[in-house]
Structure 1
Amino acid sequence: MPQRDSVVLVDPVLNGAPFKMACADRGLDVVGVYTIDRPVVTAMDPDHAAGDVRSVYAREPDVPTRPAAVVPATEPGVLVAARLAGGFGLPGQPAAVAPALRDKRRMRRHARARGIRVPRFTTAAVGLAEALHHTGLPAIVKPTSGAGSHNVFLVREPNDLDRIARADRHDLFGDAIDEWLVEEYVRGREFAVNTFTVDGGHTVLDVWEYRQPGPGDYDNPYWDFVQVGPDTPGRATVAWFAQRVLDAFEIALGPAHVEIKLPTDGDPVLIELGARLPGAGIPSQWERHSALRPYADTLAVHLGESPTTLEPGFDARLGMCFVRHDGPAGVLRAVHGLDTVPTWTGVEGVAAAAPGSPIGTTTALGAEVARVQLAAPDDATLASLIARVRAEIRVEVVDRPARAA
C-alpha cells in the first residue's frame, strides 16, 4: 500500500493540537516537529506525540521527504515552519522575514524600518537600570522570545528591577533568556486583531479587547478578554493598522494575531505579531459560533487551496474571564462558585485549578486560577454576564504549610 501524503506540524501542542484532527480528516499523516525541548513539551502535554507517524525533537529538524505542507501549529514553530516550507518550495511565510516574527528585537527593528510605530525600546543582558534611562518609566521588561506574558515585568520604579533579578531566566517555552527587551510602557486600550491572509489579501476575522478591573498600568493583560462589535470606538482604527502591519511583515498566507495598543492621544502602536492562530481557546469558540473552520482552513492554504469561508457570520458575542490570584503564593483551598456558574446560560466552559494545588501570583496566561468561556447575544448581555461571573466566583488561597524541620 503506498504511503499517504504527510504534513509537518511544527509544535502541535496546546492550542495547536487540533491540527492533528484536521490532518486526520483529510487522510494526511502527521510528522510532529517539536522545537520546544522534550522535557518542557512533555510537561505541557504528556500525550503531545499522539497521532504522529514520526516525532522529531530539534530546533533545526531534518525532514528527508518532501511533505504536502508545513504548518506552524503554535507560536514557537513559526520560524522553523517558514524555513522548512521555503526549503521544500511549499507555501509559507517568507523565510527572510520569519526571524522578525519570533524575535521581538528583530520584530521591533523591522517594524520601525517600515514605518510601523512601536514602543521606544532597547535591549540589555544585564544593566537594566541603564536601559531604563533610554525608555523612561514606567517600562516593560520581557523576554525577546516567549508568549503569554510569561516573565513579563512592569517596572514603575528602579526597585522593581529586584523582581527581575530573582526571576528564572527562561521564557514560556524553556529557552534561556540571553537578553531582555526593555521598552516604554504605552498607556491606552489594548486590542488583539485576528486576521487571515490568502494570496496577499488580508481579512479581519474579529477584534478582541483586553479589559482590566481598573485604570492602573499592568503587565498581565488577562482579566476580561472580549470580542468587540463593529461600532466599538477604536475598532476600525486597530483593524486598519493590523493590515498595515501584515503588509510590513510580508505576511503571505494564513492566520495572524496582532496585538495593538491604542493611546488616547496618538497613533496605534504594535505590541506583538504572531503569524499563527490566536491562543486562549479562541479557535474553538469560532467553531461553535461562526462559519470559520480555523484549523481546516489554515491547513488548506498551506496545501495551496482556498479556505472554506472568511465570512464568520458570528451568532454571538464571545468573551473570557480569567480569574487571577493577585496575592502572595499559597495553596488553593477552593474556587467558590464553580458549582453554579457552569449551569448559567452563556457559560460555555470553565477550567479551574484543583483544590490543594500550589498557587502563585498570577502573572501570565495559563497561570490563572480559573478561565471561563462565554457567549452572549450582544455586548450589553455579555458585559452583564461577565459581571455576574465575577460576583459569583471567589478564590480562597491559604498559606503553604511550614516545612518540617
Structure 2
Amino acid sequence: MESKNPVVLLVDPADSRNGRAYKAAVRDLGFQVVSLSTGPPPVAPPVDPDGELSLHAEDVDDAVRQVRAARLDPLAVVPSRGSTLHLADEIAARLGLPGNDPTLGWARRNKAAMRARAVQAGIRVPEFRLVGSLDAVADAAQDIGFPVIVKQTMGSGSYGVTVIGDAEELAEATKELMVDWHDRPVTEWLVEQYVRGREYAVNFCSADGEHRLIDIWEYRRPDDRDYDFPLWDIVQIDSTHPDHARVERYCKEVLDAFGIHYGPGHIEVKCDGDGDDIHLIELAARFSGGPAVPMWLRHSDLRPFHDAVECFLGRRPDMIDGDHGFRAVLGSVVIRNDDAPGTLVALHGLDELNALPGVADVLVEFRPGDHVPVTNHNMCIPVSASVYGPDRATVLQTLAAAREAVRLVITPDDPGPAVR
C-alpha cells in the first residue's frame, strides 16, 4: 500500500490514552497517521480502528523494512508508549528523521543504564550497585549502608521499588523483589542509597535541543518517614519557591546529558538540602503520567500532543516560546491503604469528594468486596482525584478537605496460624 498524503509514524499507539491523543493531534495538523506496533507478532494482521494504515514489526530492522516496503516517506516518528521510546528513537535515526539520541535510548529506559550514564556525564545520582541475585542485594545494602532503596531495573509506576531500613526488613522484602508486575522472574536489581529530602516531578518540552520548562510538581508527604512510593498529595510550585530555579537548571543539564532533544521530558529529582544537592531519581522522554496532562488541557493554553508532534517534525511549537497560560494552580490527592492488605468492606465519602469545589476526575480502583493490597505502586491506588484552585493555599485546603472526606473500611487479611 502506498500513502499519497504526508504521513506521521506513531510507534505503539494502541491501547494507550496518549496514543489516541497523538492520533487526534496528527490528524488535526493535517497529516495521515500510520501506526507501527512492536513486540511479539499479533494473532491477526494489525487493523487500526480508525481506518489508518497499521504495520507490525518485531525489531528496528523489521520496522524500517516495513516502512520502506509500504513505500512510505514519513515526516516524523512519534513515540506513543513509554516502554518502547528507545525503539522509536532508533527508527527515527534510521529513517533520517528528528529524534532523541538513539545511542542513549537504553539509558533513558533501564534504571541501571540510567545511573551509569549519569555518572559518566557528571550528573549527581545516589550511590548505587547493580546486582544479579538476592544475596548480592543484601551484600550491596550492607556495603552502601541502610537505608537503601531496591528497584527492579525495568520496573515502572514504582512497582518493585522497596525502601529498606535494616537487614530484617530486607529479609521480609525478598518475595516482593523476585517478580515483576507481570509475575515474571526478575534477574537484576538496582540497590542505591536512600536520599532523604524534598522530591519533585519536572516536566519539559524540547525542540532541536532547546528545553522549555512546563511545570514542577512537589510530592508532599504526611510526615518525614522514609518512603518508596511518593504519591500522597502533589501540587505545582511556581518561580517563587526556593527550589524552583535550581531544579530547573539541574534538569536542563539532565536533558542534555541523556540526549533528549525533541518532545516531552519527565524528570524526578530529590533535594536533600539548600545547596548543590540535587539527585536524579528517574527520567523519561515522555509526558508525565497521572493527572498532569489532562489538567494542562483544561487549565492552560497548552496543546501538549500537538506541540510534541511539531517537535518531532523539526518545528518550533508554541510550547517552547509562548505563554503557557495556566489559569489555576494544579494538584492531586491520592487516598492510599497504608495499613495492611485486606477486603474492602465500605468506601465512604465519594459523594462528598465529588461535590468539593476544585475537585475533578475522581478515580476509584476498588469496590466493596475487592481485595485491597497495601498501596506501594501506581496500580493499586484505592482513590485519587485532580485538584485545582486560584492559588496554592486554596489547593492545599482542598487537598486536606478531600482527604478528610474519604474513608476506607478494610478488614485485614487473616495472617494465619502463628509459626512457632
TM-score (norm 2): 0.87
Q: For residues 211 and 368 of structure 1, what CA distance do their matches in structure 2 show? A: 16
- 3-state DSSP class of the match of 2:282? strand
Give runs of ≥4 in structure 1 deviating > 6 Å. Answer: 36-39
Q: State the match for 2:35 in structure 1.
A: 31
Q: For residues 284 and 197 of structure 1, what CA distance do their matches in structure 2 show? A: 20
Shift of 1:61: 6.9
Tell me if the contact between 2:208 and 2:314 (Cα under 8 Å) persists in the aligned partners.
Answer: no
| 1:228 to 2:241 alignment | no
Q: Note the alpha carbon deviations across 1:268-310, whole angstroms, 9 max, x for none.
A: 0111111111111311111111111111111121122221333
25-34 or 104-113: bigger deviation:
25-34
Q: State the match for 1:16 in structure 2.
A: 18
Q: State the match for 2:95 in structure 1.
A: 88
| 1:350 to 2:362 alignment | yes
Q: Note the alpha carbon deviations across 1:199-221, whole angstroms, 9 max, x for none.
A: 21111111001111111000000
Shift of 1:67: 3.1
Matching of residues 233-244 of structure 1 within 5 Å: 233-244=242-253
Tell me if the contact between 1:35 and 1:77 (Cα under 8 Å) persists in the aligned partners.
Answer: no
Q: State the match for 1:269 in structure 2.
A: 279
Q: State the match for 1:42 in structure 2.
A: none
Structure with higher helix content:
2
Aligned pairs, number? 396
Shift of 1:382: 0.4
Q: For residues 116 and 37 of structure 1, what CA distance do their matches in structure 2 show? A: 39
Q: Kindly, what percent of the aligned residue pairs are identical? A: 35
Q: State the match for 2:306 in structure 1.
A: 296
Tell me if the contact between 1:23 and 1:30 (Cα under 8 Å) persists in the aligned partners.
Answer: no
Shift of 1:88: 0.9
Matching of residues 3-402 of structure 1 within 5 Å: 3-12=4-13, 13-17=15-19, 18-25=21-28, 26-35=30-39, 50-51=49-50, 53-54=53-54, 56=56, 58=58, 60=60, 62-63=62-63, 64-65=66-67, 66-126=73-133, 127=135, 128-167=137-176, 169-172=178-181, 176-264=185-273, 267-310=277-320, 311-353=323-365, 354-399=367-412
CA separation of 1:401 and 1:3: change in aligned 2, threshold 3 A: farther
126-135 or 251-260: bigger deviation:
126-135
Q: For residues 163 and 289 of structure 1, what CA distance do their matches in structure 2 show? A: 44
- 3-state DSSP class of the match of 2:8? strand
Q: For residues 404 and 62 of structure 2, what CA distance do their matches in structure 1 show? A: 52
Q: What amino acid is aligned across from residue 304 of structure 2 in structure 1? A: P
CA separation of 1:211 and 1:244: change in aligned 2, threshold 3 A: same
Shift of 1:192: 1.1
Q: What amino acid is aligned across from residue 342 of structure 1 in structure 2? A: N
- 3-state DSSP class of the match of 1:24? helix
Tell me if the contact between 1:148 and 1:172 (Cα under 8 Å) persists in the aligned partners.
Answer: no
Q: Note the alpha carbon deviations across 1:305-364, whole angstroms, 9 max, x for none.
A: 221333312100000011111122222223211112112211121010233222111111
TM-score (norm 1): 0.90
Unaligned segments of structure 1, at least 5 residues: 40-47
CA separation of 1:207 and 1:2: change in aligned 2, threshold 3 A: closer
Tell me if the contact between 1:4 and 1:29 (Cα under 8 Å) persists in the aligned partners.
Answer: no
Tell me if the contact between 1:15 and 1:280 (Cα under 8 Å) persists in the aligned partners.
Answer: no
Q: For residues 161 and 144 of structure 2, what CA distance do their matches in structure 1 show? A: 16
- 3-state DSSP class of the match of 2:379? coil
Q: For residues 314 and 376 of structure 1, what CA distance do their matches in structure 2 show? A: 11
Shift of 1:224: 0.9
Q: Which has the larger radius of gyration?
A: 2
